[in-house]
Amino acid sequence: MQPAWRGLHVDVSRHFFEPAVLRQFMDEMAALRFNRLHLHLTDGPGWRLESLRYPRLTSVGAWRKKLPEGDWNWRDHEIGSHFTTCYGGYYTQEEMRGLIAYGAARGIMLVPEVDLPGHAYAALVAYPELALEPPPGCKLGRDVLAVENPRVRRFAREVLDEIMELFPPGTPIHLGGDEVDTQLLTREQQRVFMQEMVDYVSSRGYPAITWDEAAENGVRGQWVMLWRAEKMEEILALGLPTILCPNSHFYFDYPQRVGVAPAWQRVITPETVRSFRLPQAAHVLGLQANLWSEDIKTPARLFEMAFPRARVMAETFWLGAQGR
Ligand code: ACM
């Protein structure tokens, strides 16, 4: 049976891709009958969607300079060669409406992600009063929202309000929830905040999605995106609606050929993709491949990394109708 969720994800925060590039990307997706484009719109290196209530998210948070050596945020990465001092970009709300309509006409739903409460450095540069200060001596950077501050909760709700005004009712909204160090926020603090956000959007007709950490921490009522392959069994046992994008098979930013990357790095070849056994459980909504863009700096590279593995994925799990 073909999976209901046939997704690709693009990280537009680490590197930004213009609307025209995403339209071309959706053309390729449609040809392979992918039906979900998950956009990772916010992260440490850049905030990529216009907010009318919080304009500094893009006037400040969408642009970056190369940071001094030693700054965790952008330490080892080149800035796009066509920029000399400043890199960035964002989608206006009007552009995003156009992308939503372009996808809809091709059977592709755009799924926005606002990554909460971590991966928030760009937002915190724009609005420092929302930041959680790391405890003295802690080497972790300022990357996490101070979730117990009422202003932070209002910020998160208002940002989500704008997303819900922009995206059609019924669109799943991804709330992030990954990789927050418990030195900064305990699991319980993370759980309470994420549960509030899940309830906020889902009570308004927008299914919530989180990364698997939130489910592990006890958040309920959302759809889960499983990325940590080693957690697959444990997370599936929770019985929550789950989209599978394990980093053992579907992280398409990983090299696709042996020998092109350092020996320690995990390689995901077309054969790796083909070898995945899709669990046949009613709560498995489908599959997705993720393209994180730390090292995907140009549209050409994005397409080269996404396809042909996306073609193999489509042929194996739905175009071939093999019923695996
Ligand atoms: C993730 O790769 N942190 C979802």
Residue nearest to atom 3 of ligand 1 (CA): 178
The pTM of this model reads 0.94
107-135 mean pLDDT: 94
Separation between Cα atoms, residue 185 and residue 23, nearest integer Å? 38
Q: Ligand 1 within 6 A of 294 CB?
A: no
From the list 16, 24, 37, 311, the residue with the least C-alpha distance to 167 is 37
Residue to mutate (ligand 1; options 116, 179, 181, 266; most atoms within 8 A of CB): 179
What's the count of helices (H) and strands (E) in the chain, helices before strands? 11, 12
pLDDT tens, residue by residue, 243-272: 999 999 999 999 999 888 777 789 999 999
| 238: containing domain | 5-45+70-79+91-119+149-319
Confidence of residue 320 (pLDDT cuts 50, 70, 90): confident
Does residue 14 belong to any structural domain of this protein?
yes
CATH number of the domain to which 302 belongs: 3.20.20.80
* Catalytically active residues, by annotation: 43, 119, 179
71 pLDDT above the threshold of 50? no
Cα(82)–Cα(84) distance, integer angstroms: 7
Please check whether residue 115 lies inside any domain of the structure: yes
**For the residues 50-73, what does the mean pLDDT come to?**
77
User: 220 CB contacts (<8 Å, ≥6 apart)?
Assistant: 195, 198, 240
Region for 286 from its dihedrals, namely left if φ exceeds 0, alpha if ψ lies in -120 to 50, beta otherwise: left
Mean pLDDT of the chain: 91
User: Residue 281: is its pLDDT beyond 80?
Assistant: yes
Instruction: Please report, in angstroms and rounded to a whole number, the separation of the first and last CA atoms in the chain.
Output: 7
Q: 124 in a domain, yes or no? A: no
Number of domains in the chain: 1
* pLDDT at 321 (0 to 100): 53
For residue 261, is it within any domain? yes
Q: What is the pLDDT averaged over residues 109-136?
A: 93
Picking from 29-33, 153-157, 268-272, 293-297, which range would have the lowest pLDDT averaged per residue?
293-297
User: What value does the mean pLDDT take over residues 223-235?
Assistant: 98
The predicted model gives 10-15 an average pLDDT of 95
Supply the pLDDT for residue 311.
98
- How far is 270 from 284, CA to CA, in rounded Å? 22
Ligand 1, atom 2, residue with closest C-alpha: 227
85 pLDDT band, cuts 50/70/90, is low
In a domain, 306, yes or no: yes
The answer to whether residue 56 sits within a structural domain is no
pLDDT at 67: 55
Residue 72 has pLDDT above 50, yes or no: no
- Residue 135 C-alpha to ligand 1 middle, in angstroms? 24
In a domain? residue 172: yes
Q: Is residue 144 in some structural domain?
A: no
Residue 79: band (very low, low, confident or very high) from pLDDT cuts 50, 70, 90: very low
